[in-house]
Amino acid sequence: MAVNEKGILNRLYFIAGCMFIFGVAVVFKLLSIQFLQGDKYRAMAQERIVKDVVIPANRGNVYSANGNLLATSVPKYDIRIDAITPTLKTFEKYLKPLSDSLSKYSGKSSSYYQKEIRKARANKNRYYLLARNIGYSDYIRIRNFPLLNLGAFKGGLIEEQTTKREHPMGGIAQRTIGYERFDEKGNVTRPGIDGAFGEKYLRGKPGKRKKQQIGKGQWKPLSDANEVEPKDGKDVYTTINVNIQDIAHHALLEQLEKYKADHGCVVVMETKTGEVKAIANLGRNSLGNYYERRNYAVWESHEPGSTFKLMALAAALEDKVIDTSDVVDTKKGRLTFYGKHVDDSNHKGYGKITVSKAFELSSNTGIVTAIDHAYKEKPSKFVDRLYDMSLNEKLGLPIIGESSPIIPDPRIKNKRWSGIALQWMAFGYGVSFTPLQTLTFYNAIANDGVMVKPQFLKEVKEFDRVVKPYKVEVINKQVCSKETVAKVQQLLKNVVEKKHGTGHRLYSENFSMAGKTGTCQKDYRDKEKLNYISSFAGYFPADNPKYSCIVVIHEPEKGIGYYGADVSGPVFKKIAQKIFTDTPIIDEVESLKVKRVSTEKEYESFYKIAQTYKTIMPNVVGLPAMDALVLLENMDVNVKVKLDGRGIIKEQSINKNVKLKNNQTIVLKAS
């Protein structure tokens, strides 16, 4: 192209045109961002600096009946170190003292920590874990260790706080207090009270609020009020009594350890209200230590064995087909039905005895003979009577995982019924109940026939306001007639009081109790695996019962012992004794003004002597030493009194009516 004016102009137009198109493109892009994609980008920008913050609601606390904390949420801390932040100089200077302190805290060697932290620095680890899930006092302690006390920017300290559910009572009643736990998939496990009432009361509702970022990782609320106010969870007051729980827990633990048993449980229930005062469930881990493993009392349905004889006998007495005074033949300790044997534990029987004695001795043959005789024509009548006593229904507990009771029924075809079902039921086989279900029936007997539902909660509170009180719930107004109740109450009392009773070893002169022992075989189909369940169910005091209690211990070591009275009985007795010694005996007197003629007279004569003898010696022979001392020391002259003995004065060294001088010594002899 020629270099002339036109050529230059053309080039100028071309450049200008290009720049114009570029400008248009820029404007177009701007407009497109602003208007076409504007909404999207604006939303993105909003998200960066403004967010909806969920305000978590505080979870409610679980309290015991007397206001002790059983479960609460507390902050826990993880402590980490950023191994690169400290300068080489500070790092080298403080590494050893830090490792020493850490070693003192955790028990691991100091050189271990030195090596690990050095390795973390070499690997450029900015997030090396020192301690996880520690409580406040440990957190403060670690934070003050050398290097870490320099803080985040110089020492590389990283602290993270999370909220954890804590049981201040430790392992005691842990399974019943429970928790609510969510895993990554959103599944919930919720044992115990904390779990059962989590959704309804404890959890509360989280709130929401818009917040804007302002730096230092802080967010500032955008508006005055929360968009959604968080609602804190309500506090749940359980019926558990910490003192009784403590006794029950440790008494059970002691027996489990003594008999090397697999697991066991205790429940203490208030008779009138059904309030569960204590519930302990201990199972053994692979190391042989016991801990609250599962809620056996609520969950584990098992064949009750002899403790079921109470239900069987109550049914028969109610149907008036047996009376306690009827005589049964224990047949040398063995009965045979369809080739299967019912044996007595002494293997020789007790001869001909009354039904009541058969119960007190816990004679299998005696009770089976009686029940077989009464119901063999129409076993469904027996089953119906058990139904009438509400034994076939679940208790409907709030705690999740209650098993259904099992009672074989000839009219239901489920292979549970057989030719020997009735006879085996009579001594507690073929049927199955959880400890709490068995206890509920025993409690009904203690409560004169009124069956009440076991209660775990007393009330739900929001601050000091009661949101929901829990009242007594009656399951069955009268499980059996008053006469039947009176009869079986007497039997239960005899088990402990009578010399021949299976529970007589638990007898104590100081306080009364009533109950039934149970020694039940478990896994009996295979002789190799045969084990025992030792139980004791009953109530105390025997008259006007206050509490009922069941103790069930599974698989005690056979070599050490397995009878209900030996293994489980002592736990029952310990609880009964404790409650007895903790309840003061109250004596009421009408008034403090008690007049006793002799006391009045003594006082009068004392007063007279005190008024008359000021400087001369009175006759103090015959007076108590205390009185004589008071008289002589309060005279107008200062005398020294030497006293021999402590009772009534026999001799005085200075005779009556002799004038006394200052600083004179009087010797008194007392018996």
Partner 1 sequence: MILFISGLAIVMIASSHSADKKVYETARLKNEVNEMRSAFIDGRSKLMQLKMESAVVGKMKEKGLSPSVIPPKKIKVKSQN
Give the residues lining the site for partner 1 (CB under 8 A): 68-69, 72, 74-76, 135-137, 139, 161, 166, 168-170, 172, 214, 216, 218-221, 242-243, 246-247, 249-250, 510, 577, 580-593
Which residues are CB-neighbours of 208 under 8 A, at least 6 positions away? 52, 53, 54, 55, 226, 227, 228
Q: How far is the CB of 196 from partner 1 (least distance, A)?
A: 23
Q: How far is the CB of 514 from partner 1 (least distance, A)?
A: 19
- Segment holding 336, helix H or strand E: strand 334-337
Q: How far is the CB of 281 from partner 1 (least distance, A)?
A: 17
Nearest to partner 1 of 75, 419 (CB atom): 75
Cα–Cα dist 572/470, whole Å: 27
Token pair recorded at residue 587: 């004596």
Tokens 């012992």 belong to: 561
Q: How far is the CB of 41 from partner 1 (least distance, A)?
A: 25
Distances (CA, A) of 463 to 67, 237, 309, 502: 13, 12, 47, 50
Nearest to partner 1 of 173, 549 (CB atom): 173
DSSP state of 461: E
Nearest to partner 1 of 225, 586 (CB atom): 586
Q: How far is the CB of 239 from partner 1 (least distance, A)?
A: 18
Buried b (16+ CB within 10 A) or exposed e, 20-31: eeeeeeeeeeee
First-to-last alpha carbon distance for the chain, in angstroms, is: 151
Q: 373: number of CA atoms within 13 Å, CB side?
A: 18
Nearest to partner 1 of 218, 634 (CB atom): 218
Token pair recorded at residue 363: 């004679």
Q: How far is the CB of 61 from partner 1 (least distance, A)?
A: 10
Axis-axis angle for helices 309-318, 482-497 (nearest 10): 140
Q: How far is the CB of 507 from partner 1 (least distance, A)?
A: 15
Nearest to partner 1 of 581, 638 (CB atom): 581
Token pair recorded at residue 388: 């009438």
DSSP letters spanning 562-577: --HHHHTHHHHHHHHH
DSSP state of 647: S
SS3 track for 273-309 = CCEEEEEEEEEECCCCCEECCCCHHHHCCECCHHHHH
Give bridge partners of residue 353 from the DSSP assignment: 328
Nearest to partner 1 of 169, 358 (CB atom): 169
Q: How far is the CB of 329 from partner 1 (least distance, A)?
A: 43
Cα–Cα dist 185/470, whole Å: 35
Nearest to partner 1 of 7, 75 (CB atom): 75
Nearest to partner 1 of 221, 622 (CB atom): 221
Nearest to partner 1 of 218, 611 (CB atom): 218
CA gyration radius, the chain: 41
Q: How far is the CB of 511 from partner 1 (least distance, A)?
A: 9
